Amino acid sequence: MSRIDRELRSPSGFAKHQHEPSANKPTKPRNNRQGLTAGEYILSDRHDNNNQVARARWEFIQAVHRKVPAFGEQLRKDVYPTFARLAGKRKDYWETGWKFPTWQVHSDRKNQLTPLLLAWAGAFNLEKEAWILEGALQTLSIWHKFADARRSLDLQGFRPNVCGQILIGDGEHRFSFEDWGWDPQLSSWRAFGANVRKRFETHLRAYEKRIRTLVQDRGGRRVIARYSVEHMEWLALYHCGDWSLDRILKCSPHAGDKTTISKGLHKAAQLAHLEVRTKRGKLKSP
């Protein structure tokens, strides 16, 4: 019997999830702050989706997968069989890029899969998040096409892609620097090198200023430089695993106090545009 089969059933019929054993062990502090994007300015599409939020959401999903593995396991166990039966050989049951309401109108008018999907998401306090439901459908579609992805619980369907407006064209961002070169009869290598480096730095600063001015004049917004892997994991445990702040603190004593943990997980939620549950199980804006 699998671990999920041993878990108690909730009124909705979904298994109450347990967590990986390592989640209960105290963790050591680590330098885990990373950049959300490679660039310094946000890439946004016409629907106001942007690569910063997309990356934060993907990091959140990976944290959930590590800390609350029942998230993927229950999607496969409780939702996939019905999805596979309804989708069958249809190629248009779910289309990449669809919104959840579009899929409901096109493929689930009889409301056959929606209740299962909402019950699964609700078990992790995510039923209000349309991007989670859309990511689940994309993941289910991938699993339906590729058995290996289903067996390995591949969650790439939750990884959004953002194609946005280009703020700087190819011709505009070209950078070039030239110098006449070194004449060893007129100057020493040391003097030549110092002069070239000085001119190059001046040229580089002017180039940076020109590019930043162009980007900002065209509505470019700076990205948030760093996020914390640990904050994402705290958010996963608190929001999706129903852990208390006290329990998280017990496993992360280096955090110092519950206030630090609360601030950290809310910062992570803000990056992912996720509504955080309250102590009573309701949701509130980050």
Q: Is 284 helix (H, G, I), strand (E, B) or coil?
A: strand
User: What is the per-residue pLDDT across 71-127, written as a single tens digit (0 to 9) for each?
Assistant: 999 999 999 999 999 999 898 999 999 999 999 999 999 999 999 999 999 999 999
pLDDT tens-digit readout, 18-63: 444 445 555 555 556 677 788 888 888 777 788 899 999 999 999 9
Question: Is position 189 within any domain?
Answer: no
- How much of the chain exceeds pLDDT 90, in percent? 69
Give the list of residues 6+ apart from residue 53 with CB closer than 8 angstroms, or none. Answer: 271, 272, 273
> Does a structural domain hold residue 263?
yes
Residue 96 in any domain: the answer is: yes
155 in any annotated domain: yes
Residue 18 lies in a domain: yes
Q: What is the token pair recorded at 115? A: 């209740």
* This prediction's pTM: 0.79
Judge whether 217 lies within some domain.
no
Look at residue 23 in the predicted model and tell me its pLDDT.
54
Backbone angles phi, psi at 44, to 5 degrees: -120, 150
Which pLDDT does position 9 carry in this prediction? 31
pLDDT, residue 149, reads: 97
Find the DSSP H helices in 146-257: 147-151, 189-217, 229-235, 245-251
Inform me whether the pLDDT recorded for 161 exceeds 50.
yes
Tens-digit pLDDT profile for residues 205-231: 999 999 999 999 998 888 876 789 999
Burial of residue 73 (CB within 10 Å: 0-12, 13-18, 19+) is middle
| Chain mean pLDDT for the chain | 86
| pLDDT band, very low/low/confident/very high, at 238 (cuts 50, 70, 90) | very high
| Residue 216 covered by a domain | no
Please count the structural domains in the chain. 1
pLDDT at 162: 78
Please report whether residue 63 resides in a domain.
yes
User: Among residues 142, 6, 27, 168, which one has the least CA distance to residue 76?
Assistant: 142
Strand partners, 34: 227
Integer Cα distance of 272 and 242 in angstroms: 18
Domain containing 70 equals 4-164+222-284
Position 165 scores a pLDDT of: 80
Counting every residue written for the chain, the total comes to: 286
